[in-house]
Amino acid sequence: MEKEISKVIVSTSPHIKSNETVSKIMLSVIITLLPAVAFSIYLFGTYVLLMYVVSVATSVISEYIVVKLRKRPFTLNDLSAVVTGILLVMVLPPKFPIYGVIIGAFVGIVIGKQIFGGLGHNIFNPALIGRAFLAAAYPVHITTWVAPRIGKISAVSGATPLAAMKFGGVVTRNLPLFLGTVGGSVGETSALLLIVGSIYLFIKRYIKWQIPVSIFITVAVLGEIFHLINPVKYPGPLFHLLSGGLMIGALYMATDMVTSPLTGRGCVIFGIGIGTLVIVIRLFGGLPEGVMYSILFMNAFVPLINRAKPRIFGTEAVHEK
């Protein structure tokens, strides 16, 4: 018995821990993305599968190299690099060149995450950093769309519903938008599959629910207001909700734990900010779509939002200084 006693662990309480781990959360995100991933391969062909493989491989290898160079503990098993790799492809056009995918994944992991100190320290969503870099570096490729294998091809050849709306005044019907049988980035088209996948994350509370809900409400309300002002020029709220990157952005990008606020109230502010920017960019900006920039922009405000502390138990107002 003495021998056993000498080996006991002495540490601060608590002495039991829940079975939640970072890897488990990331694995859940990956699994819930799979329906949308599978659909995207079906919709745009096997080239998309190649993009996924290359992107995930590049992400993992980049992470491995940086971690080795920085002599940091091995963190690949947290699977976050895999999530970044998958999400990056989901927000790229379906025929994006492979070398571009490699560059995007590398930039996302190295500049988007590891430069800040790795998972937990980054300010911006790594996948969106990768995409933003590609949007700046390859403006033509990033706006070259292909028609989906099923569903009606929109009037403007191969264009996304948002581009068709903005530049052609054509509004895509809601059902194909909801199902995802439309043009667009690889994994963003099917609102249905993204919503279904995310239900599990809501139940497990891996998603800070206030974020997507406040984005949806903001987009719907602002969309409706402008639609009432000028129904011909501005599409209705459902179109805004179902088109472009809004669903994947609200459910999977804005909800990235590391780059979103800590408190429920903070998440609401964050969501309202994103929703407002999305509508402003879509309706008045030069680009047809603004989800990516809206999220990145609001990511920058998270450290500031997190300085607002909740009311501590037994204090009157917000604890300040």
Partner 1 sequence: MGVFSFKGGVHPPYNKDLTNSKSIVPANLPKELVIPMSQHIGAPCEPTVAVGDNVKEGQLIGKSTSFVSAPIHSPTSGKVKKIEERLHPLSKKVLSVVIEPDGENEKVYMEPLGDDPAKIDAEKILERVKEAGIVGMGGATFPTHIKFSPPKDKPIDTLILNGCECEPYLTADHRIMLERGNDVVLGARMIAKVLKVKRIIIAIENNKPDAIEELKSLSSPYDIEVVATATKYPQGAEKMLIKALLDREVPSGGLPMDVGVVVSNVGTSAAVCEAVRDGKPLIERVVTVTGNAVKKPGNFLSKIGIPIASLVEQAGGVEGNLGKIIMGGPMMGISQPSMDVPIMKGSSGILLLQKEDYMTLDFRACIKCSFCVRVCPVHLLPSTLSIIGEAKKWELAEKYGVNDCIECGSCAYVCPSKRPIVHFIKTTKAKLREIKAMEKK
Interface with partner 1 by CB under 8 A: which residues?
Answer: 1, 4-5, 7-18, 20-22, 24-25, 75, 78, 117-121, 205-206, 208, 257-263, 306, 309-315, 319-321
Dig out the tokens for 142 from the structure: 């990033």
Instruction: Please classify residue 147 by burial: count the beta carbons closer than 10 Å to its beta carbon, then call 0-12 exposed, 13-18 middle and 19+ buried.
Output: middle
Q: How far is the CB of 117 from partner 1 (least distance, A)?
A: 7
Nearer to partner 1, 284 or 316 (CB): 316
Question: Closest distance between partner 1 and the C-beta of residue 33, in Å?
Answer: 18
Phi–psi pair at 315, nearest 5 degrees? -115, 155
Are residues 184 and 80 in contact, defined by beta-carbon separation less than 8 angstroms?
no
Minimum Å distance from CB 143 to partner 1? 33
Smallest distance, partner 1 to C-beta of residue 29, A:
12
**Cβ-Cβ contacts under 8 Å for 247 (sequence gap 6 or more):** 188, 191, 194, 195, 241
Is the Cβ of residue 18 or residue 46 nearer to partner 1 in the bound state? 18
Closest CB 258 distance from partner 1, rounded Å: 5
- CB of 139 or CB of 264, closer to partner 1: 264
Ramachandran region, residue 118 (left: φ > 0; alpha: ψ -120 to 50; beta: rest)? left
Q: Are 71 and 110 in contact (CB under 8 A)?
A: no
**Is the CB of 118 or the CB of 130 nearer to partner 1?**
118
> Please, which residue, 152 or 311, has the CB nearer to partner 1?
311
- Least gap, CB of 283 to partner 1 (angstroms): 32
User: If residue 248 lies in a helix (H) or strand (E), which one and from where to where?
Assistant: helix 246-248
| DSSP code per residue over 171-203 | PPPHHHHHHT-S-SSTTTS-HHHHHHHHHHHHH
CA atoms of 148 and 93, how far apart (whole Å): 11
CB nearer partner 1, residue 116 or residue 297? 116
Q: How far is the CB of 112 from partner 1 (least distance, A)?
A: 15
Residue 235 tokens read as 């599409």
Our CB check for partner 1 shows the closer of 284 and 307 to be 307
